Chain A
Amino acid sequence: MAGDLQFLLQVLLWGLYAGCIYILLATGLNLIFGVMKIVNFAHGQLLMIGAYVTFTFYAISGWNPYVLIAASFPILVLAGVTIERACFRPILGTGKLNEIFISIGLIYILENAAALLWTDEWREIHSPYESLAVTVAGVRFPVDYLIIIVLTVVTLCGLWAFLRKTRLGRAVRATSQNRNAAMLMGINVEKMDMLSFGIGAGLAGAAGTLWVVSGQVFNPYMGSIPAIKAFAIVIIGGLGSIPGAIAGGLIYGVVENFAILSLGAAWKDAISFLLLIIVLVIRPTGIFGESGE
């Protein structure tokens, strides 16, 4: 009985870890959607770029890869700002089809550019803490996963403080809630678009760093599956809702891992999307979504 409980707690830990990566990705996606009302299909590729930025700085400097989140986040913010200015701003409001084409095109461009820059071989990084684990009541907690969970919480708290406690953050929220009213109140909504896209991309970059230090392999084509899952999480949690992305990410990560346990790994994605369908049937706006949003 105690063994079964330990076993379930261990699987729960893997679910929480997976949830952390999904949360960072989905929160960024939701922030972009909330403010600009565009769906960036290339969001997973930003995670991939974050992974490569971490890998490159690690190869050059040999620094602790966790510290390199301080490189991947700002570099991806800059990349996000550039993408918003160069690709999305010119076509904003010209129709959803244009936004879809641009973001799908970005998938191929970013993947091919990464393959040219870094080649398309699989890469990996070994964390300096990979041999450390804490065992509590028979459940093994590798130190890396505890750091990843803590870093995710710190990042989300930082985002919360920015959006709630700063003038700029309040302007981002105002733009998200009512773009026209925000404009009338003197907020530069284009600047808010740029900022939200930058932060969203930065969060994907941070997710990329955490992805590589957790022992996952990566290559230029690894972004699509995490992106699809992030979209599902955004819909489960509610479009434009950051608390929804957090709750959705945790639920998704845990459900996915318990699906592997009970039905087998082949059901991992099917069960997660079944959850998506159930949420949509019961509450079409998602868990934290508002009607009409």
Chain B
Amino acid sequence: MKAELVSIALLLVILALFAGCTGEQASQGTNLKIGVVASLTGPASTTGKDVWQSAVLAADQINAKGGVFVKDLNRKVQIQLVQGDDASTREGGQTAVSRMIAQDNVDLLVGGFSSAVVSAHESIVADHGVPYIITGASSPIVTRRTDINTSYMFHHAPTTDASGSATTLFIGDTIRSAIDQKFGYPADRPLRLSVIYQDSPYGKGQLDAIKNTINASHLAMTVVSENAFTMGESDYRTILTGVKKADPDVVYVAAFLNEQTPLMNQARRDVGLDKIFIAVEPNDDPAYYSGIGRYGEYSIIQSRFSPYAIPGGSTAATVTSFISDYDAKFHGYPGMMGAATYEGVYIAAQAVENAGTTDKAKVRDALASLQMPQMVEAMQGQTISFSPDFRESSFSLDMEQLVWDDAVNQTRPKIVWPASLKERDFVLPDWFVPGKG
């Protein structure tokens, strides 16, 4: 019995030592406390690290300029970030958010990756009335659900409706034209589309957006197969074999980075799917380009910020500066989720400054009426603001095609849509085989 107790006690001590490996920016008196909800461990940890580091960069930049002016205090206060690791799970998110609100007394929350994870902890945020700038969940339900009060939640990420719709229009317009032209198909030949989607609000939202856009815009497009997979899956060979049997022209994949990378490799290398693949925007991360290697060549990725593509136009200077500052601080490139969270911290700072207080209700009102120039992501009207109905910001999405670059031995994105941002035309590769109905 004594030996049992000693073993258990020893085990608990060791676990406690390892579990204590978390981070938080040092507290210095009265600060503006911003809780960053990020998946620092678990399947989405690559994205989580990007989210946290980008938040740190934004906070450091603001603090270096003296901080955030709070009129009530008649002085500037420093931003103190508090780390909330959701461990890539719903339960982890609930624990992290509860702790940040109840123990750390954060003034605002920023971040939140995965619609499923965010949905699970939103009720805690609603109960405590903490302003929450959600930068990494794309399902529209996060601010449109009616079972809780979402009035303190502001959605700074394109919804699945917006991104799914833009991408479907691009497929129906640009890819379909290229296929028809190359193979001499009549204009009314329906493009054959397969959809592989994560079995989550995010994946289902993308699927719904695709179908709704096809119907609403009367696109000549047929969904020939749709396959769901469980979150975190790493073996897609059988699903992809089924997709090959359905024989599509284009395969639209709604998956996260840790899912998209093996899926692309298995599709091209194992199953031999010579089709155009579409990846969704959360994948625009340096790890994606290194992970897919040659198998990503000629595939398409939705984007609003890319570590490797500098769009023409008004965001070029800020994108270049953000990438360079991030690289100088962390010796690497930021991803899209990082870019959104970087903006999220600036939005939080601006809202507090506009409110002149850290009072949560007043900060919420300031967020609702925010009008801020766009930063690193191209916004509709070049302004960051939230819609009055569901508190969603509106992005200008682009489509990038991955092109092999011998200099870096990886693919690099080139913007091919829309015309206002495009760097080059979409190219149909020689190995592409169209679907035959």
Contact = CB atoms under 8 A, between A and B. Distances in A.
Nearest to A123: B291
Contacts of A257: 237-238
A113 B230 contact: no
B293 A126 contact: yes
Given A108-B18, A215-B269, A95 B4 contact: yes
B95 interface: no
A243 interface: no
Contacts of B126: none
Contacts of A98: 3-4, 7-8
Interface string B224-266: 0001111011110111011001000000000001100110011
A120 B41 contact: yes
A266 B228 contact: yes
A150 interface: no
B408 interface: no
A7 interface: yes
B121 interface: no
B271 A140 contact: yes
B45 interface: yes
A221 B234 CA distance: 13
Nearest to A259: B238
Contacts, number: 125
B190 interface: no
B15 A108 contact: yes
B192 interface: no
A269 B15 contact: no
A122 B258 contact: yes
A91 B15 CA distance: 18
A97 B1 CA distance: 11
Contact of B233 (A108, A145, A265): A265
B173 interface: no
Interface stretch (A10-18, A200-208, A274-282, A285-293): A10-18
B199 interface: yes
Contacts of B228: 264-266
Contact of B227 (A102, A142, A222, A264): A264
B21 A269 contact: no
Contacts of A268: 230
B427 to A, nearest CB: 21
A261 B18 contact: no
B437 to A, nearest CB: 15
Given A7-B245, A124-B262, A140-B271, A90 B45 contact: no
Contacts of B7: 90-91, 98, 101-102
Nearest to A140: B272
B419 interface: no
Interface in A79-101: 90-91, 94-95, 97-98, 101
Given A91-B3, A95-B4, A109-B18, A101 B269 contact: no
Interface pairs A-B: 8 shortest CB-CB: A112-B18, A105-B11, A14-B237, A265-B229, A120-B45, A260-B238, A215-B265, A257-B238
8 contacts: A10-B241, A94-B4, A121-B46, A124-B262, A142-B269, A142-B270, A216-B235, A261-B241
Interface of A: 3, 7, 10-11, 14-15, 17-18, 90-91, 94-95, 97-98, 101-102, 105, 108-109, 112-113, 115-116, 120-122, 124, 126, 130-131, 133, 140, 142, 145, 215-217, 219, 221-222, 225, 257, 260-261, 264-266, 268-269
Given A14-B235, A102-B7, 19 more contacts: A7-B241, A14-B237, A15-B238, A17-B237, A102-B11, A109-B18, A112-B18, A113-B18, A121-B45, A122-B257, A126-B293, A140-B271, A215-B269, A216-B235, A217-B258, A219-B45, A222-B234, A225-B232, A265-B229
Interface of B: 3-4, 7-8, 11, 14-15, 18-19, 21, 40-43, 45-46, 49, 199, 227-230, 232-235, 237-239, 241-242, 245, 257-258, 261-262, 265-266, 269-272, 287, 291, 293
